[in-house]
Chains A and B, each alone.
Chain A
Amino acid sequence: DSHTQYERVGADVTMKCGSMDWDAAVTWTANGTDIDESHLNGSYLILKNVDLSQSGQYSCYEGSSWHLKYQTYLRVGTPPKEPVLMCRSNNYPKGFYCSWHLPTPTYIPNTFNISVIHGTKDMVCEKDAIPKNRCHIRYLQLFSTVKYKVTLTVTNALGKNFTTLTFDEFAIVKPDPPESVVAKPVPNNPRRLEVSWQNPSSWPDPESFPLKFFLRYRPLILDQWQHVELSDGTSHTITDAYAGKEYIIQVAAKDNDIGTWSDWSVAVHATPWTEEPKHLTTEAQITETTSTSTSSFMAPPTTKICDKGAVVGSGAMAVCWTAGLVVAAYSVLFI
């Protein structure tokens, strides 16, 4: 006679040796190891305040004959806590998905049951194979005034729990982050970076449901981000990058009119074009970094080419057109 028995952590468990009398001589084993007689009350096995480590196979043998009289698999666990449920539409207007998990493990098997009610209608949320704790629903109607009510019930041998989410169709729209974000320097432009990206592939209809984008960028050495919101197009040129500094760039997407912003895309790094070979630039950067990162960082002036700030990173071969012209002018005069 063998079965599985579920008990709560901290409970007191009494196991009877099948149909044997209380005063019968028996031996209990846990996972094959004999159990000390101190745990026995007659032929009953008493486990007080059970913990997870006491899960296992318990067997009861008749004293002299060593016949197996009873066997049970003890699984110690907890009843489920209130599950965490999230629903999101990353493929509007096709539908939405819900995913869930338990905040703490129960250590025993759980079954999840999800129900979706739209007004008076029951809808079927089709379970996904992967990932497991997820199901999806197709919208039958768009622009609904009636809320969706999703109830997730989790049950195991020790108890059950549930949680409910109620939302409007529009409230859960959140696209996936933009894909294939690429940032490139622009030749001969030391303060520009060209960023391009693509609509998330999960967004089914960008023509009728256009996305808008939010770009953020900063040089690695600073903490503060700069932001640009773009109402259309999947590219943008940054024109105020600090010369020679490595930048970190991310993009997020949102339906033009409804819902919330996506998570930030994978970050890309890029450094604006500089004229110098790399090793000279690095030296100049190090000197510049140590001297200016401690002081208030001012934008290098954009008008005077020969100014120290803009020349940083150009090294010895300073592109100093004004000075060059002046020299050229004097040379001409003296010829």
Chain B
Amino acid sequence: GDSWGIFTFLCAALCNLPALPALNCSEELGAGQSIQQTYDLTRYLEHQLRTLAGTYLNYLGPPFNEPDFNPPRLARAERVPSATVDLDLWRGLTDNARLAANYRAYSRLLCYLRVLDGQVGTAELRHRLAHFCASLQGLVLSIGGVMSSLGYPLPAGPAGPPAPPGAHAAPNDFLKKMDDFWLLKELQTWLWRSAKDFNRLKKKVPPAVVTLRLEARGF
């Protein structure tokens, strides 16, 4: 009841921080370079997540840390943005839609992770989560930078008004852990998907333009 209210407030506060304007350097570097950097960031984060998820799932305890754990997806878990998409639809996404989907997803995932950070028990976990959140924030900014350099508007903050207090509160400890489990899973899947999204974007934005600019700047 009360904890949900705090959660909603925190989310609103953290997520409605003005999205930093596209850093000037990204325009100088050119979209091609930024896309490569964003791609590299997703790979780095995916690697980081593996360690973080391992530690966190052990903290949650069995059955969450069992490799075969394959629970059904409960309706309540839908609030976490899903990377799952129809194959043809994914192929047909415009660059703008592709980037926007990534931007929105990571913004929200970051939000949820930050709340997690506040609740988690051990100091080691808090430290790891904080580090991961910082890297994830970097990714969001990087995607924003790419969008700006390509002339696309940044998507607005978390869609819709905050849910009323108590609406999504996990009724018990086990379901709360399930929520955490799915959050980590969606995060992992998004990072895998982003690698593919940015591969496609890399092909579309030729790096040749970038090289010229870099030389002009004397890099």
Contact = CB atoms under 8 A, between A and B. Distances in A.
Interface of A: 93, 119-120, 139-147, 149, 166, 170, 207-210, 256-258
Given A120-B72, A257-B192, A257-B195, A145 B84 contact: yes
B189 interface: yes
Contact of B192 (A143, A146, A147): A143
Interface in B117-169: none
Which among A119, A140, A146, A170 has the greatest number of chain B C-beta atoms within 10 A?
Answer: A146
- B84, B86, B185, B196: residue with the most chain A Cβ atoms closer than 10 Å: B196
Given A93-B87, A140-B87, A145-B82, A208 B70 contact: no
Contacts of A257: 43, 46, 192, 195-196, 199
A166 B66 CA distance: 13
Contacts of A146: 70, 73, 84
Contact of B189 (A120, A144, A207): A144
23 contacts: A119-B72, A139-B87, A140-B86, A141-B85, A141-B86, A142-B84, A142-B86, A142-B87, A142-B193, A143-B83, A143-B85, A144-B189, A145-B73, A145-B82, A145-B185, A145-B189, A166-B68, A207-B203, A208-B91, A256-B195, A256-B199, A257-B46, A258-B195
Contacts of A256: 195, 199
Contacts of B72: 119-120
Given A144-B189, A145-B189, A210 B199 contact: yes
B200 interface: yes
A93 B193 CA distance: 12
Interface in B70-103: 70, 72-73, 82-87, 90-91
A140 B90 CA distance: 11
Interface in B188-219: 188-190, 192-193, 195-196, 199-200, 203
Nearest to B185: A145
Contacts of A209: 196, 199
Contacts of B199: 208-210, 256-257
B182 interface: yes
A142 B195 CA distance: 13
A208 B46 CA distance: 19
B77 to A, nearest CB: 9
A246 B70 CA distance: 51
Given A119-B72, A166-B70, A145 B196 contact: no
Contacts of A207: 200, 203
B186 interface: yes
Contacts of A166: 68, 70
A145 B83 CA distance: 8
B90 A142 contact: yes
Interface string B42-73: 01001000000000000000000000101011
Nearest to B184: A145
Contacts of A120: 72
Given A142-B90, A257-B199, 13 more contacts: A93-B87, A140-B86, A142-B85, A142-B87, A142-B193, A143-B83, A143-B85, A145-B182, A145-B185, A146-B73, A207-B200, A257-B43, A257-B195
A143 B70 contact: no
A174 B189 CA distance: 18
Nearest to A119: B73
Contact of B70 (A93, A141, A147, A210): A147
Contacts of A258: 192, 195
A145 B203 contact: no
A258 B43 CA distance: 10
A231 B75 CA distance: 41
A143 B86 contact: no
**Interface core residue of B46, B70, B72 (most chain A CB under 10 Å):** B70
Contacts of A149: 70
Nearest to A148: B70
Nearest first, the 9 closest Cβ-Cβ pairs linking A and B are A257-B195, A143-B193, A143-B83, A147-B70, A145-B189, A145-B185, A144-B84, A208-B200, A142-B87
B49 to A, nearest CB: 13
A244 B186 CA distance: 54
Contacts of B189: 143-145
